[in-house]
């Protein structure tokens, strides 16, 4: 599918800014001393500023940047977990976020129960989950551990199950934050294949990763963020080069 700006927009990010308030006290004593000394108890940190992005339906976009540049914050804004201070974010269709993977997982529940719980959170009905349950488990390769409480899972198993649930839901936009780094090599390959399939089906993909080889393979477009500002938006190879040339 040609990735032109004439395609229907899937995500519109319009002059978005987000700040966080940083606290500088821990205990009541510190709070009291700061108050006596008239020291500021908090400061404001601008995590994102003036972000303008339009993503067309079916585009796969890599979000690149060094640690703390604001990538996860932007994905959380797109998914609606956070709200921008300024600007607006519009998304078309259902957004499935692999952001804080397993955030909806309950450690004391079995893999099976967590599949039902998370798929329901992602908007699937009970009959839909019943129909896809075997596929979800098969893709995750959890096998006989599906009835074990997830607190006994390894971190890779946990991510595999969470990823599998998310990609088997009915989605239009998939937000992927670094999860692919956690699975082992065979699973990563399988995820890449699945992501390519989803892109071919016209789904929109926003991928955050430090694995530049992988994002170059999966994405056609790259956006580079440095200290909360967008410094590049264009072909993914040029985005990777821009990142490598830039400093934190």
Ligand X SMILES: Nc1ncnc2c1ncn2[C@@H]1O[C@H](COP(=O)(O)OP(=O)(O)OP(=O)(O)O)[C@@H](O)[C@H]1O
246 binding ligand X? (CB under 6 A): no
Torsions phi, psi for 39 (to 5 deg): -85, 150
Q: How far is the CB of 93 from ligand X (least distance, A)?
A: 24
Q: How far is the CB of 56 from ligand X (least distance, A)?
A: 24
Q: Whose Cβ is closer to ligand X: residue 70's or residue 183's?
A: 70
Q: Whose Cβ is closer to ligand X: residue 58's or residue 65's?
A: 65
Cα–Cα distance measured from residue 190 to residue 138, given in angstroms and rounded to the nearest whole number: 12
What's the Cα-to-Cα distance from 66 to each of 4, 139, 223, rounded to whole Å?
A: 28, 31, 12
For the sheet with 229-235, list strands across it. Answer: 95-98, 173-177, 204-208, 60-64, 221-226, 229-235
Eight-state DSSP code of residue 215: H
Q: Whose Cβ is closer to ligand X: residue 68's or residue 107's?
A: 68
**Torsion angle of C-alpha atoms 147, 153, 159, 161, degrees rounded to 10:** -10
Q: Tell the residue number behind the tokens 């096998």, with chain if given.
A: 143
Q: How far is the CB of 69 from ligand X (least distance, A)?
A: 4
- Of residues 4-23, which lie at the interface with ligand X (CB under 6 A)? 20, 22
Q: Whose Cβ is closer to ligand X: residue 150's or residue 215's?
A: 215
Q: Whose Cβ is closer to ligand X: residue 94's or residue 210's?
A: 210
Q: How far is the CB of 15 from ligand X (least distance, A)?
A: 18
State whether residue 159 is helix, strand or coil. Answer: helix
Q: Whose Cβ is closer to ligand X: residue 43's or residue 154's?
A: 43
Torsions phi, psi for 126 (to 5 deg): -55, -50
Cα–Cα distance measured from residue 194 to residue 208, given in angstroms and rounded to the nearest whole number: 16
Element (H, E) at 101: none
Q: How far is the CB of 169 from ligand X (least distance, A)?
A: 24
Cα–Cα distance measured from residue 120 to residue 132, given in angstroms and rounded to the nearest whole number: 12
Q: How far is the CB of 13 from ligand X (least distance, A)?
A: 14
- Fill in the per-residue mask, 142 to 171: x = in contact with ligand X (CB under 6 A), - = not in contact: ------------------------------
Q: Are strands 60-64 and 204-208 parallel, antiparallel or unpaired?
A: parallel
- Of residues 33-72, which lie at the interface with ligand X (CB under 6 A)? 45, 47, 65, 67-72
Q: How far is the CB of 4 from ligand X (least distance, A)?
A: 29
Q: Whose Cβ is closer to ligand X: residue 110's or residue 246's?
A: 246
Total residues at interface with ligand X (CB under 6 A): 12
Torsions phi, psi for 144 (to 5 deg): -70, -10
Residues in the site for ligand X, rule: CB under 6 A? 20, 22, 45, 47, 65, 67-73
């Amino acid at each position: 599918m040609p990735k032109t700006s004439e395609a229907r927009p899937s995500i519109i990010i319009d002059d978005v800014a987000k700040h966080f308030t940083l606290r500088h006290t821990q205990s009541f004593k510190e709070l009291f001393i700061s108050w006596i000394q008239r020291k500021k108890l908090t400061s404001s940190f601008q995590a994102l500023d003036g972000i303008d992005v339009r993503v067309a339906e079916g585009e796969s976009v890599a979000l690149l940047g060094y640690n703390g540049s604001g990538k996860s914050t932007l994905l959380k804004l797109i998914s609606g977990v956070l709200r921008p201070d300024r600007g607006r974010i519009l998304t078309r269709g259902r957004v499935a976020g692999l952001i804080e993977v397993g955030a909806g997982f309950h450690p004391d529940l079995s893999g099976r129960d967590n599949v039902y719980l998370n798929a329901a959170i992602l908007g699937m009905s009970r009959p839909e989950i019943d129909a896809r349950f075997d596929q979800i488990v098969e893709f995750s390769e959890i096998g006989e551990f599906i009835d074990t409480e997830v607190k006994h899972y390894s971190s890779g198993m946990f991510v595999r199950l969470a990823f599998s649930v998310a990609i088997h839901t009915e989605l239009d936009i998939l937000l992927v934050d670094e999860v692919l780094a956690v699975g082992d090599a065979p699973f990563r390959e399988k995820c890449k294949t699945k992501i390519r399939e989803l892109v071919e089906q016209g789904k929109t993909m926003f991928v955050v990763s430090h694995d530049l080889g992988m994002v170059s393979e999966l994405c056609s477009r790259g956006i580079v963020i440095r200290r909360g500002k967008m410094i590049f938006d264009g072909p993914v190879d040029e985005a990777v080069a821009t990142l490598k040339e830039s400093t934190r």
